[in-house]
Amino acid sequence: MKAVAIILSFVFLGTVLFFFIVPDVSRNISSEIRVLATGDKGGSQGSVGRPSASSPPKTLEEHYIIPPIDPSDYHYPFTPNPEGIKKKGLTRQPGAKTFYLYTPENPESGRLPAVILLHGGNRDGLAMADRWRALADRHGVILVAPDGKDGEWDYAAEKSSFERLFSVMFSNPAIDRDRIYLFGHSAGGMAALPFAADFSERIAAVSVHAAMLVSPPYQEAVRNAKRKIPLCLMIGSEDPVVSPEKAREAAQFFADAGHAASYIELDGHNHWYYTLADWINEYAWQCMIHKAPDIFTED
């Protein structure tokens, strides 16, 4: 079945990859991603609204797709560009936890959606904000990228910081609090999974790249989530850090707990995020905004 799915993906994504090379990436792949994310041709972005009723286990959606760049063409290393990205503190106190804020160029009037970005190990929020800024400008999205402690994420210790981060975001009149999404890469993805469950009433959907559920407390958070939260999990078939089997187990765990989960395996891709970042981000974004209405009913 996996081989058949991969073959079908060649046909399915042919048009997507052809159009992806032009500057306006999203113009041509949005409808394709809607099918990938929801299995139908309908749906709209919508807002979070009321939580759905308790859900039974769901069937995990599985997709096998081929990225537009071969790993032999990946560019190493990656150095982020800070231009236009503001570094801020969660409080005014010296030594306060910091985050990076990016507001899109020429934003539309009214409140904008926002994405919280959790970086990989030994990185900082700047790396994520820089890799997401192209998408932010395309779609009018505010980026909020916190720094982990010493380049890492401590799930238990970071909960209070997340509470403060949401307070800061809710006080920003430009942010639509009903359209806050979460994305994490690698260690940031492993933190994003339980954080999404813990803050499921504030996060519309979550997407991760190269991540898994690493301990029982993380699993407990997923089981006890107050709201069923959509998940889009992406993993390279050749990832040497997080095996596809472990990543799929995480997506399956979400589905078994009643969350709408999609497992998206990138054929030939490894753990390196930064060369494919804009492509991965676009898929993550489209998947999140089109899965969210399936789970949340509007007021």
Task: Give the strands of the sheet with 142-146, arranged side by side.
Answer: 61-65, 261-266, 231-236, 206-209, 175-185, 112-118, 142-146, 98-102, 86-89
Q: pTM of the prediction?
A: 0.83
Contact 221, 198 (CB under 8 A): yes
In the Cβ-directed half-sphere of 286, how many Cα atoms lie within 13 Å? 22
- Does domain 2-295 bear CATH number 3.20.20.10? no
The one-digit pLDDT tens for each residue of the chain (299 residues) are: 444 444 344 333 433 433 333 344 444 444 444 444 444 333 333 333 333 446 799 999 999 999 999 999 999 999 999 999 999 998 877 767 899 999 998 877 789 999 999 999 999 999 999 999 999 999 999 999 999 988 899 888 888 899 999 999 999 999 999 999 999 999 999 999 999 999 999 999 999 999 999 888 889 999 999 999 999 999 999 999 999 999 999 999 999 999 999 999 999 999 999 999 999 999 999 999 998 754 433 33
